[in-house]
Every structure is written in C-alpha cells, then in structure tokens.
A = this chain, B = another copy of it.
Amino acid sequence: MPVMVVGSIALDTIKMPNGKIYKDVPGGSCGYFIHSARFFAPVRVVGVAGEDFPKKHLDGFRKCKADLEGLQIRRGGKTFQWHGTYMADMNDRTTDALHFGVLGDFDPVVPAKFRKTSHVFLACSQPWLQAKVLDQMEGKTFAVCDTIAVYIQNDRKDLDKLIRRCQGMIVNDEEARMLSGDHNLVSTAIGLRKKYRLQFLVVKKGEHGGLLAVKDALVPFPAWPLEKVPDPTGAGDSFAGGFVATLAKLGRADLPALKTAVLNATSVASYACQGVALAGLTKATAKDVRARAAAFEKTVRLG
C-alpha cells in the first residue's frame, strides 16, 4: 500500500560544529520522507520546488520510486531554503535563515490518483494547508501529522482542529511540551493522545529515542546508538517516513504494528544521521535497514 507525504522540498545550508558548511544540499520533510519510507512502501509526493531545484535531486527521488505527480515545479521560482547551525551538542541547533521562495504561497493539490491513498503524512506546515490536503482525500484516510512551535503559537485553533482529524501524530519533545503546557513528557504524551483522540502519539527525543503513547500503553524506546553523528538534519522526518510507511505496509495500527513501526523508523532515522543531508539514507540498502531494525529489536530486548 502506498503512503503519501505532503511537505517541503528544500535546499539546506548546514553549518557544523567544526565550522564546515554544506551549501544547498537537498532536504526538506519530503526529501527525507521519500528516502526513508521507500524501504517499506511506495511513496507519493505532494509538494513544491523552484526551477532551481537540481535535476539530480529529482532523479534521486525517482530512484526511490517516488511518484512525483503531486510535485509542482514552479517556473522561475526559488526552492525553499533552510540555513541552520549545529552546536557541539548535536541535539541543539539554531535556524539562521529561512527563504520560503515558492513554499510561501504553496497551495497543495492532491492529484486524482493520489486521493484514495490509505496513509498520509502531513509534515510540518500551516495547519490550514494540512487541512486542505485532508479535504481532498477520498475514502478512509489514516493521517499522521507533525507540527512546529510557530504554528502552536500562532495558529492554535486551526492546529487543534487539524490534529483531531488525524489518527496519529509524531512530534518533538519541545513541541509536545508547548502543546500540553506540562514539563513531564510522560504525562504530556498520555495527555495529548487522549485530548486529541489519536490512535497513537510519538514524542521524539532525538538521541534519547522517544515515547509511543497508545490507548492502553506508554512505550518508551531508546534511539539506535551512534558513536558519530555527522548530520542529524531530517532524522525526525526520516523517523516519520519509516513509521508511517510501515503502518501503510502492514495495514494496521495495533500495538505490535506500532512497535514494528518504531523499529523501522529508528533504523532509518539512524541512517539519516550517518551522512550529510540525504547521503546517509541514499547509501543505505534495504538489507542494511532491515538488519539494523532486527539488531535493534534484539539489543533493546531485556528479557
């Protein structure tokens, strides 16, 4: 079963703690989602890029067998840019600049052949835009969303409505705390899932893994241990890619399926961290990803 992603296509400029700068590397939530979800399900893309987006990156998406019919390429337009700097603690980063370009007035159009996709990931964007995508879907849709601070602060009502239309949410610890107004991440995860009537909620904690909240369980899980993290950009969207694509593949979202999704998501997220931009994921093979998910399962099993 295919999975659809709606999000950003980006050219990132990333400054590392050692001062090294990577300029105009491919990224965005769609970029990472395509390269991580591909191991588990065919990917359908709804997004927008400028004419400046290099053909080789589009070819990279096609190599992942992504269906790009929903990807608008705007003549004369500029691709969205994110400029960021990582601190010595790679969990910390600052955003130095955002150039929205064609993303600034992106109006998502879901192609007719995408409208019945069973699983949809609504990556970070304006809640009205995420809602507009859901409005175009037909049949039963299992929708999973993400969000960031700016929409929690400025569009809370729309955001609350949007989350309630979703079946799941995958969100960072800081955003989860902002949504709950509660410092404790455990009560935050349990409380938000309940409040928004979600089948599941994942609170991501970077190198510390995350928390999976479902109706009758709260599953804490660690991250795959990495001795070196060349570039954690996109690890969260890669986690979402592995997670939602696994649910699409399995066609169910019970606790065992969600745990399998955690395994696969953890595996691809760790590969995303092992190379700059998409390089960690493009180098990984399906065999690598499966092997690491299996090793992770065995490692964290304590009994």
Contacts and interface: CB of A to CB of B under 8 A. Distances in A.
A259 B301 CA distance: 8
A54 interface: no
* Secondary structure of the A contact surface, majority rule: mixed
A301 B299 contact: no
Given A209-B222, A211-B225, A222-B209, A302 B262 contact: yes
A299 B217 contact: yes
Contact of A219 (B186, B227, B297, B300): B300
Interface string A163-204: 000000000000000000001111100100000000000000
Contacts of A190: 227
B220 A88 contact: no
Contacts of A100: none
A89 interface: yes
Given A221-B222, A222-B221, A187 B303 contact: no
A259 B208 CA distance: 19
A220 B227 contact: no
Contacts of A211: 225
A20 interface: no
A263 interface: yes
Nearest to A222: B220
B302 A263 contact: yes
Nearest to A185: B207
Contacts of A301: 259, 300-303
A223 interface: yes
Interface residues of A, number: 38
A34 B31 CA distance: 53
Nearest to A262: B302
A302 B303 contact: no
A93 interface: no
A222 B203 CA distance: 14
A222 B263 CA distance: 15
A222 B184 CA distance: 15
Interface in A213-260: 217-229, 259-260
A161 B260 CA distance: 45
A106 B30 CA distance: 62
A60 B45 CA distance: 64
B299 A89 contact: no
Given A208-B208, A222-B220, A222-B221, A227 B299 contact: no
A151 interface: no
A205 interface: yes
Nearest to A301: B301
10 tightest Cβ-Cβ pairs between the two chains A and B: A220-B222, A297-B303, A208-B208, A187-B227, A186-B225, A259-B302, A186-B227, A218-B225, A220-B225, A297-B302
Given A218-B299, A297-B303, 9 more contacts: A186-B225, A208-B209, A209-B222, A219-B299, A220-B223, A220-B299, A221-B222, A221-B300, A259-B301
